[in-house]
Amino acid sequence: MLSFVVLIFIALLLPGVVNRTRAVLSGRKGVTLWQHVLTLGVSFRKGAVYSPVAGPVFRMAPVIGLGASLTAVAMVPAGPSGALISFGGDIVLFCYLLALGRMMLILGALDTGSSFEGMGASREALYGALVEPALFIVLGTLALVSGHTSFERIFARMEAGSTEMIIAMIPLMYAVTKILIVEAGRIPVDDPRTHLELTMIHEVMVLDYCGFDLGLVTLSSWLKTAAFAVIASSALAATFAYCIPLVVLLCIVIGLCVGTIESFMARGRLFDNTTYIVTVSAIAFVVFIVAFLILRNIHIG
């Protein structure tokens, strides 16, 4: 239960860390660290307005998406206290739950009958299909080095104090962070601040959502971001000292890195995004090979 609470805290903290980093690096005063949470509260207090064209899928998508994200987050431990839900093979269910949330958001966008939202849905489906191999390879690497297929046992049984394992987990953390950027729709893949329909991906899919439903979609996105941040942080923390403070600290570092990237990089062209995402799979595959060689004590050269 403690890990679940910590994950909720990280989900609410990370957007504020990114916003504050972006503000400081651009020389602005910016909003407070928790302003986004207050804005989310305002959304939850508003009612929802539905287009007469939108069907039941549009209304169900935010609820199912949030439920899928909450269940996925419950499987990820944020420290030695363990996950709220844990069983053999939960890393596979984790991926499918995230895919379920993405699928419902895509179907909800298509259910509006809007050509703009359909365009965003097609891009989201493409990017999701491209990034999923990288996610499975990363989780397969964690299962390989630990000998388990459950998040709780993976991080609890990972070899601590091994220099070789630290070397393998640093690029793995980098790969998961890039997956986080793709899944969260951040720069350079997408820009959550843009309002140009021809360049939006995630934001254009939720144009028709407002009030309570928009709050559910936003919270679901934050939870997914926190899950990837905790996986990346736990992979590295487990090789040092696997504890909640270290995991939270590494998550904050990831938030600082995302904010720094958004401050110094522009949104990439749509044609370049596919190359960027496929590169993530290549990095993940290299990490898998390195981990395999380390476990087999194979020396090259």
Closest to 209 (Cα-Cα) out of 58, 99, 29: 58
By the 8 A CB rule, do 220 and 73 touch?
A: no
Ordered alpha helix ranges (H), the chain: 2-25, 35-45, 56-74, 90-111, 115-146, 151-157, 163-184, 202-205, 211-237, 244-264, 270-295
Residue 300 in domain: no
Q: What is the pLDDT of residue 160?
A: 67
Q: What is the pLDDT of residue 299?
A: 53
Residue 182 in domain: yes
- What pTM did the predictor assign? 0.94
10 Å CB burial of residue 232 (0-12, 13-18, 19+) is buried
Residue 196 in domain: yes
Residue 301 in domain: no
- Coil, strand or helix: which one is 190? coil
DSSP label at residue 83: -
Residue 187 in domain: yes
Q: What is the pLDDT of residue 72?
A: 96
How far is Cα of residue 139 from the mean position of the Cα atoms in its chain?
14
Q: What is the pLDDT of residue 269?
A: 80
Q: Which residue range forms the structural domain that includes residue 274? A: 2-295
Residue 81 in domain: yes
Q: Which two tokens stand for residue 246?
A: 């270290």
Tens-binned pLDDT, residue by residue, of the chain (301 aa): 788 999 999 999 999 999 999 999 988 888 899 999 999 999 999 988 888 888 899 999 999 999 999 999 999 998 888 889 999 999 999 999 999 999 999 999 999 888 888 888 988 999 999 999 999 999 999 999 888 999 999 998 876 667 778 888 999 999 999 999 999 888 888 877 776 666 678 888 888 899 999 999 999 999 999 999 999 999 999 888 888 999 999 999 999 999 999 888 888 787 788 888 999 999 999 999 988 888 877 655 5
By the 8 A CB rule, do 192 and 264 touch?
A: no
The Cα–Cα gap between 99 and 81 comes to 27
Q: What is the pLDDT of residue 156?
A: 86
Q: What is the pLDDT of residue 197?
A: 61
Closest to 180 (Cα-Cα) out of 221, 133, 228: 228
By the 8 A CB rule, do 252 and 230 touch?
A: no
Q: What is the pLDDT of residue 133?
A: 94
**Termini Cα distance of the chain:** 48
User: Between vectors from CA 220 to CA 130 and to CA 229, what angle results, nearest 5°?
Assistant: 65
The Cα–Cα gap between 29 and 20 comes to 9
Cα-trace Rg, the chain: 19
By the 8 A CB rule, do 175 and 138 touch?
A: yes
Q: Which two tokens stand for residue 68?
A: 């899928």
Q: What is the pLDDT of residue 200?
A: 75
Give the total number of structural domains in the chain. 1
Q: What is the pLDDT of residue 142?
A: 94
